[in-house]
Structure 1
Amino acid sequence: MADDEALRALMLALSYVLMKRRRDVTSANAQRRHEVQRRVARRQYFHQRHKRMIMMLIAQTSRPAAELPARPTRVWSNIESTDWWERVVMREFQPSDWLEKFRMTKETFFLLCGKLKPRLTRQDTRLRPALPLEKRVAVALWRLASNVEYRTISSLFGVGRSTVCKCVRDVCHAIVLMLRPLYLRSPSEQELEDAARLFATRWGFPRCVGVVGSLHVPIIAPSSDTQHYWNSRGWLSVVTQGAVNALGQFWDVCAGFPGSTEHSEILQNSTLWARGCERGFLPPLDFMGRPLGHLMLGDAGFPLKRWLMKSHPESLELTAGQRAFNRRLERARAVVDLAFLRLRARWQCLLKRNDCRMDVVPTMIEACCVLHNVCELHGDAFDARWEEAVRSEESPQPADEVSPASDDPDAQEVRELFCEYFLQQENQQRTLDC
């Protein structure tokens, strides 16, 4: 009886192995046939394409020399119209049209093209003429400003969708490579001193050289590691950390961190952290009878440090000095919120869900920050109507908070000095008003 059971079990095991082997062989044969068919179809496609190109070149070279075109002829069957770009944009666009469509004046546009020329200039080939530099830049700016589909831009500018994608990638890389060292760089000591004076006079916060903040940019689901890109608000994003001066211009940007990354973690991996912790921004000066270095301002998502101040947590137990400190800090910190608002309003690829690949998104964000500084420095007008899209966005920005355990105890003394200073100022102002 036991032998029969063992024999039956062995027969079942053998049957299972044989069936699995047969299924694997069948699947392998099907995959092999599919691969062969794919290769044959691809070879036929390229053979036909090569044959058409040869026939068109033979037809072209067989014409008399007087009839040959001055420029190389495109060897494509679907040549799009370029009338809109060549006639409407380059000849008929008014200043308001340039500002609306490209988010900058015509003068700034051509200044930008001139600075990017060494990186973006292309030579004509025998098969087709190279896309003009100005058109390449315009295609990229249109995408950054509107975030419309490549198909729409393709029809508008008379180029292929793959060309639009390549223009956006190349122009963004060129902007970061060539313009970031000019328009988005760490300030010198003199620039930091000027920033500190401006923060004191315009925003009423002395010893401050900048404000740091974070921005979540919506994205589509990446191909891998999706879970790390869900932020606390429940949507996919990448985080950008930016430091701005008193004029709302960026001088430090870290982009591309997954949406679940804490703001304090991004700060600790930035050059801003190394500079603040190791050598500071400027030599210490006397403040309220004590030597005090210059510092930056942040929100609740950043740790409290001697060089980085944030508000006291809201509570009914706050003293008058602490409430005065909170009011003055939030007033000064609003400059980074305004900078991010203008950045997204001007370049709406950061406002709407970005469908570019993840290896392009960080470069695109940095390029937008550089272009923001270019427009601000050259005085290009900002249309208040652009803000409507930002204020009505469906995905609110996540609010991050760091644990009080990460705060520096020595920084509490610095914050109390400011509390005392601002309370004295408010009392003096009340005395004068009376």
Structure 2
Amino acid sequence: MAAVKEVQFRKHLAVALVYAIAKKKKNKRRRWYVHPLNKTRRQDGEFALFVHHMRNTDEEMHFSYFRMCAARFDDLLKRVSPFIKHANTHRTPISTAERLALTLRVLACGATQQSVAETFKMGPSTARRIVTEMCEAIWVALKEEFVSVPKRAQWETIAQDFWSRWNFPNCIGAIGGKQVLLRAPSRCGSLHFKETHSVALLAVCDAQFKFTMVDIGAYSQENDGGVLQVSPFGEAFLQGQLDLAAPKALPGTTTVCPHVIIGDATFPLNMNLMRPYSGENLTTAQRVYNYRHCWAQQTIENAFSIMSSQFQIFGRPIESSAEKAVCIVQACVALHNYLISTDAASAEKAKYITPNLADDTTPAGDVRPGEWRGLTEPGSSLVPLGRPTHPRRTQADTATRKVLKDFFQTPEGSVPWQDRVITCGLNDAH
């Protein structure tokens, strides 16, 4: 009996202590309305002291600082402003321009939100709220125009670009996936990638490295193909619910072939989704197909790497919860597409994609590695999703790949250097 009373006493005591602590926190008064070090934000904060001066004197530095020129910044500000609403009740309200500048600086430089907050003379919690809110606004403001799923006519234009630039016919995109590593919070539940918190990024890109379809936040330890099957756009694609371009004759021939998306060995083979031939004892024609496939499929790796090299927040695990990380990744994807789409209007020193940033080939077919390879950090937060899959395949699935394989052996479909490349074994390097 005494033992039961002791247990009950301890329970009541624990409840009383929790209530007392909660009440104390509720009644605790803020030490300062604005921290003394941040009261001079309007005079010597980074936005007032540096950003205003820089935009009028050094366009190249402005691009390095924000990954866009002043004209692009102003245009972006105009686009996101309708989605940022704050009552001017604060003693020193933070303008939308300053909020955008803070957010772009966090995304571009890769420094912690706390360190950027210090230079902008803001409290860390204020800066974190601003970054989340602004990333949400950037996504909403840009996604319809710059990250929407292409229509049928747009798919056909993408296919023409892949053929002219990457020598792969009837291709409407390259698909790939990454895990975006996060600094694991104290309570991470079941969302683990090895021992690190993460979210998944699955995307398709066009021949110009713009993302055409994205799914962000599928928490999974699956490989790319596994995430594809549970992602909204992947499910629609595999079930034939996307308005893809109709099958079309391969260039210079009467052979009709479906339009396809190309992926690596982590994806399943499907009538509209190609993967390389697997195995060691491949025929010459299969090796040529793999070379042509893998070279064109590098567009998605270039897209991921260009984005991560320009937005250094991907240079190391992102310090954020999974929910807020989704907002950050969405904003970077939208900004990536927006800046590529508006590159033509930017000065040469302020272009998002410079002439040598992406991988390319010489007229003789030799690979010229893109400059992004020297810009990405070794500890990048973007890592591969998983291992190759070995799914079942139907006759229709293999037939599409065979048509493309045979086309690459014809005068209309071959490129002069393909035999030399596979003879030298260079296809493995792609």
After TM superposition, the score normalised by the length of structure 2 is 0.82
Q: Which runs of 5+ in 1 are unaligned?
A: 1-16, 53-74
Per the alignment, do residues 414 and 38 of structure 1 end up closer, same or farther by CA in structure 2, a change over 3 Å counting?
closer
Q: Is this contact kept in 1: 2:84–2:96, CA < 8 A?
A: yes
Per the alignment, do residues 398 and 430 of structure 1 end up closer, same or farther by CA in structure 2, a change over 3 Å counting?
closer
**Letter of the aligned partner of 1:328 in structure 2?**
R
Q: Which residue of 1 aligns with 2:3?
A: 19
Matched residues in 1 for 2:133 and 2:382: separation?
A: 31
1:298-352 C-alpha deviation (Å, 9 max, x unpaired): 011110001001101141x111110110000011001111110011111122331
Taking only the aligned residue pairs, the percentage that are identical comes to: 21
Q: Is this contact kept in 2: 1:320–1:423, CA < 8 A?
A: no
Per the alignment, do residues 400 and 357 of structure 1 end up closer, same or farther by CA in structure 2, a change over 3 Å counting?
closer
**Letter of the aligned partner of 1:80 in structure 2?**
K
Per the alignment, do residues 292 and 37 of structure 1 end up closer, same or farther by CA in structure 2, a change over 3 Å counting?
closer
Matched residues in 2 for 1:251 and 1:412: separation?
A: 25
Higher helix share: 1
* Structure 1 residue 298 corresponds to structure 2 residue 263: yes
Q: Find the partner of 2:240 among 271, 275, 278.
A: 278
Q: Which residue of 2 aligns with 1:319?
A: 283
1:160-196 C-alpha deviation (Å, 9 max, x unpaired): 2121011111111111112111111111222211111
Q: Which residue of 2 aligns with 1:110?
A: 74
Matched residues in 1 for 2:385 and 2:234: separation?
A: 21
Q: Is this contact kept in 2: 1:145–1:349, CA < 8 A?
A: yes
Q: Is this contact kept in 2: 1:303–1:402, CA < 8 A?
A: no
Q: Is this contact kept in 1: 2:176–2:204, CA < 8 A?
A: yes
Greater CA drift, 111-120 or 188-197: 188-197
Q: Which residue of 2 aligns with 1:218?
A: 181
Shift of 1:97: 1.8
Question: Residue 405 of structure 1: SS of its match in structure 2?
Answer: coil
Q: Is this contact kept in 1: 2:179–2:385, CA < 8 A?
A: no
Listed as ranges, the matches of 1:9-408 within 5 Å are 18-33=2-17, 35-36=19-20, 38-40=22-24, 42-43=26-27, 45-46=28-29, 76=34, 78=36, 79-82=38-41, 83=44, 84-93=46-55, 94-125=58-89, 127-222=90-185, 224=187, 226-231=189-194, 235-268=196-229, 269-275=231-237, 277-279=239-241, 281-287=244-250, 289-315=254-280, 317-379=281-343, 380-382=351-353, 387-393=373-379, 397-398=383-384, 400-408=386-394
Matched residues in 2 for 1:396 and 1:277: separation?
A: 29
Per the alignment, do residues 192 and 40 of structure 1 end up closer, same or farther by CA in structure 2, a change over 3 Å counting?
closer
Question: Residue 83 of structure 2: SS of its match in structure 1?
Answer: helix
Matched residues in 1 for 2:119 and 2:374: separation?
A: 25
The structure number with the bigger radius of gyration is: 1
**Letter of the aligned partner of 2:179 in structure 1?**
H
Q: Which runs of 5+ in 2 are unaligned?
A: 344-350, 358-370, 421-430
Question: Residue 168 of structure 2: SS of its match in structure 1?
Answer: coil
Shift of 1:374: 1.3
Matched residues in 1 for 2:276 and 2:401: separation?
A: 9
Q: Is this contact kept in 1: 2:139–2:334, CA < 8 A?
A: yes
Per the alignment, do residues 396 and 144 of structure 1 end up closer, same or farther by CA in structure 2, a change over 3 Å counting?
closer
Shift of 1:110: 1.1
Matched residues in 1 for 2:11 and 2:417: separation?
A: 86
Per the alignment, do residues 131 and 20 of structure 1 end up closer, same or farther by CA in structure 2, a change over 3 Å counting?
same
1:20-48 C-alpha deviation (Å, 9 max, x unpaired): 531441353254145325524642x34x8
**Letter of the aligned partner of 1:294 in structure 2?**
H
Matched residues in 2 for 1:29 and 1:362: separation?
A: 41
**Letter of the aligned partner of 1:327 in structure 2?**
Y
**Letter of the aligned partner of 2:213 in structure 1?**
D
Question: Residue 254 of structure 1: SS of its match in structure 2?
Answer: strand
Question: Residue 239 of structure 2: SS of its match in structure 1?
Answer: helix
Q: Is this contact kept in 1: 2:223–2:385, CA < 8 A?
A: no
Q: Is this contact kept in 1: 2:167–2:292, CA < 8 A?
A: yes
Greater CA drift, 220-229 or 356-365: 220-229
Q: Which has the higher contact order (CA 8 A, sep 6+)?
A: 2
**Letter of the aligned partner of 2:65 in structure 1?**
K
Question: Residue 323 of structure 2: SS of its match in structure 1?
Answer: coil
Q: Which residue of 2 aligns with 1:414?
A: 400
Matched residues in 2 for 1:191 and 1:363: separation?
A: 27
Matched residues in 2 for 1:177 and 1:364: separation?
A: 12
